[in-house]
Amino acid sequence: MEYGSATLENIAEYGMVISQIFGSEEEGYNYYNAYARSKGFGVRKEEVTRKVDTNIAFRRLYVCCKEGYRARKHFEKTERVRTPRPLSRCGCGARMEIELRMDNGEWFVKDFVDEHNHPLAKPDQTTFIRSHRGLSDVQKADVIEYGIGGLRTHQIMEVMEKDSGGYSKVGFISRDLYNFVAKYKKERIEGRDAEFVLRYMAARKDTDGEFFSKYTTDSEGHLLNIFWADTQSRIDYDAFGGVVIFDSTYRVNKYNLPFVPFIGVNHHRSTTVFGFGIVSDETEASFVWLLEAFLESTKQKHPRSVITDGDHAMAKAIAAVLPNTDHRLCSWHIEQNMIRNLRKQKLKDFRKFVYHIWDVDEFEKRWVEFMVDYDISEKDAWIMRMYELRKKWSRAYTKGRYFLGMQSNQRSESLNSRLHKNLDRRMSLVDLLEHSDHCLSRIRKNEAELDATASDTVPFTELAADPLEKSAALIYTPVMFKKVKQQIEQFSKWEVTEVTKNDDVVLYTVARKESRHATLTMRVRQRKCSNIFLLLSFKYCIS
């Protein structure tokens, strides 16, 4: 049918529309908009007429979206900041006017014109017309849930298009979705972020009795620092909190605040989370507060060791709050600093000081040679600073200390990489809390799967395997069994050369079979210990 043509069908439709009765003004708009969608044009709400004495609206005009023309002033501008949008209005006269009957409150169609001076849109094009776009309440709820679930906005669009049967059936376009998400976030956080955070924490406490949270605010009520840990995190720390990793280098919120996850490793040697913190700045005072809040959540149980990114303020806070905790610097961050500060052979030679297992005397001897070879002096501030901190990063000094085989913040990096897939700098603190909780649930799902596998299976051992290996297969998780098996194999390369008893203490001197000069002495309480090889791994192999 050509636009503007008159047919019997048009006449019948005219009679159908003109006879409509509506219970409200909005009902009249919805009817005309649905009619417009079926025909291929959009609707715009135009003028409304009100009674002078009561201000009650009694007449409303709806027009085709192409009614009228762009105002002349827009054509007369001489200086433009941006290119004008394409023209869309062409003076179309299609319209529907409704009026209120004051006696019964019903709205009737007073005037209806169905002639257009432009082509009408095809069915698969109407979804792009403004009046036919918009998210339903159900869709809005889905968008919020998808967002909490970790999907980015463009991913949500793809999912909803697929669920609806295609782009033409979803009912909105990407711009509508982005606008809704932005408005939703703004309504939640604008000037009230601290209030929402505290409500969120209170709600968590209601559903998780041992949920722990602590926060500080400034004199105006603005949130400064916060730490939180749920019941499972506190249980996990009690079981696996020997070594704690934290990294304050991440900024994953609109306020650019440091986000500090407290990370460890569990019985599957996979990531476990002991809590999360957000601080207002990277000062010693803020980190002292954070560590004290963390210890409060652990009932003052201190970790044996910590691994950090090397932040100076954090180091001072650790010394103040955790004076008896061993502190190691993350090798990944050291590696990045090496790349920034050193070049070529100098970089290769310095890297040896990080990773080679020398004894302390060998390290110091080679360091002197390194200083001479590259003419190192006070002007090489980074190198000199690293030497002062050598006990926190060189394997010559860290071997034999309790770090569970971890050298870097890789687990923290892994967690934060997951967070970065879901978070961006525009997010509010509430967004960050929700997304970190979602990330935590995925970590725990992975742990549950590993627990199920460990409970249902036993690692394979050869028929001729050492009895100790067979015993270990029944005790350890599959991942830990591999570690233990490696230590058992290493143990076979050593032999006890001397045993000295002193009251309830036994001193074992052991040596490598192929090199009697490589010896170690272990101090053991006098009792049966079928797993003495674990002491050996602790004293020598684990660093």
What would the DSSP string read from start to end of 69-112?
---GGGTS-SS-SSPPPPP-------EEEEEE-TTT--EEEEEE
Among 101, 131, 161, residue at a domain's last position: 131
Are 282 and 424 contained in the same domain?
yes
Q: Is 302 helix (H, G, I), strand (E, B) or coil?
A: coil
Q: 317 lies in a domain?
A: yes
pLDDT averaged over the chain?
Answer: 83
Are 332 and 250 contained in the same domain?
yes
Kind and range of the H or E run holding 336? helix 331-341
Are 87 and 205 contained in the same domain?
no
Measure the CA–CA gap between 129 and 173, rounded to whole angstroms. 10
What pLDDT is attached to residue 253? 57
Residue 54 structural domain? 8-131
Kind and range of the H or E run holding 30? helix 25-39
Among 412, 444, 476, residue at a domain's last position: 444
Q: 450 lies in a domain?
A: no
Measure the CA–CA gap between 417 and 104, rounded to whole angstroms. 63
Neighbouring-strand partners of residue 21: 108
Are 440 and 489 contained in the same domain?
no
Measure the CA–CA gap between 132 and 122, rounded to whole angstroms. 13
pTM for this predicted structure: 0.60
Are 144 and 235 contained in the same domain?
no
| Closest listed residue to residue 402, CA positions, set 265, 217, 224 | 265
Are 282 and 365 contained in the same domain?
yes
Q: 342 lies in a domain?
A: yes
Measure the CA–CA gap between 405 and 24, rounded to whole angstroms. 72
What is the Cα 305 distance to its own chain's centre? 26
What 8-state DSSP symbol labels residue 172?
Answer: S
| Closest listed residue to residue 444, CA positions, set 273, 297, 210 | 273
Domain count, the chain: 4
261 touches 273 (CB < 8 A): yes
Tokens 């003076």 found at: 91
Percentage, residues of the chain above pLDDT 90: 36
What pLDDT is attached to residue 33? 93
Are 343 and 380 contained in the same domain?
yes
Q: Which two tokens stand for residue 290?
A: 């954070």
Tokens 């929402």 found at: 196
Measure the CA–CA gap between 404 and 400, rounded to whole angstroms. 10
Q: 453 lies in a domain?
A: no
Calculate helix-pair angle for 137-148, 153-164, nearest 10 degrees: 130
Measure the CA–CA gap between 298 and 274, rounded to whole angstroms. 9
Measure the CA–CA gap between 168 and 170, rounded to whole angstroms. 6
Are 181 and 254 contained in the same domain?
no
Are 216 and 185 contained in the same domain?
no
| Closest listed residue to residue 120, CA positions, set 186, 201, 37 | 37
| Sign (positive or negative) of CA dihedral 167, 171, 174, 175 | positive
Q: Which two tokens stand for residue 376?
A: 């190192």
Q: 210 lies in a domain?
A: yes
Neighbouring-strand partners of residue 512: 494, 515
Q: Which two tokens stand for residue 332?
A: 């990944």
Measure the CA–CA gap between 287 and 308, rounded to whole angstroms. 12
Measure the CA–CA gap between 510 and 520, rounded to whole angstroms. 5
- Residue by residue, pLDDT tens for the chain (543 residues) are 444 455 666 778 888 999 999 999 999 999 999 999 999 999 999 989 999 888 999 999 999 999 999 888 877 777 777 778 888 899 999 999 999 999 999 999 999 999 999 999 998 888 889 898 889 889 998 888 887 676 778 889 999 999 888 888 888 888 888 888 877 765 554 456 677 788 888 999 999 989 999 998 877 667 788 999 999 999 999 999 999 988 776 665 566 678 889 999 999 988 899 999 988 878 899 999 999 999 999 999 999 999 988 888 899 999 999 999 999 888 888 888 888 888 889 999 999 998 888 889 999 999 999 999 999 888 888 999 999 999 998 888 888 777 777 765 454 455 545 555 555 556 677 778 887 888 888 889 989 999 898 888 998 988 888 888 888 899 999 989 998 888 888 777 777 777 787 777 777 777 777 766 666 666 666 554 544 544 444 343 333
The size of the chain, in residues, is: 543
Measure the CA–CA gap between 171 and 251, rounded to whole angstroms. 36
Measure the CA–CA gap between 111 and 336, rounded to whole angstroms. 73
Are 212 and 294 contained in the same domain?
yes
Q: 1 lies in a domain?
A: no
Q: How many CB atoms lie under 10 A from the CB of residue 322?
A: 19
Q: 164 lies in a domain?
A: yes
Are 146 and 102 contained in the same domain?
no
Q: 21 lies in a domain?
A: yes
Measure the CA–CA gap between 168 and 121, rounded to whole angstroms. 12
Give per-residue pLDDT as tens, 3-14: 445 566 677 888
Which residues, including other chains, have CB under 8 Å from residue 422's CB and lie 6 or more apart? Answer: 150, 151, 152, 435, 438, 439
**Pairing, β 107-113 against β 243-246:** unpaired
Are 432 and 391 contained in the same domain?
yes
| Closest listed residue to residue 466, CA positions, set 450, 486, 442 | 486
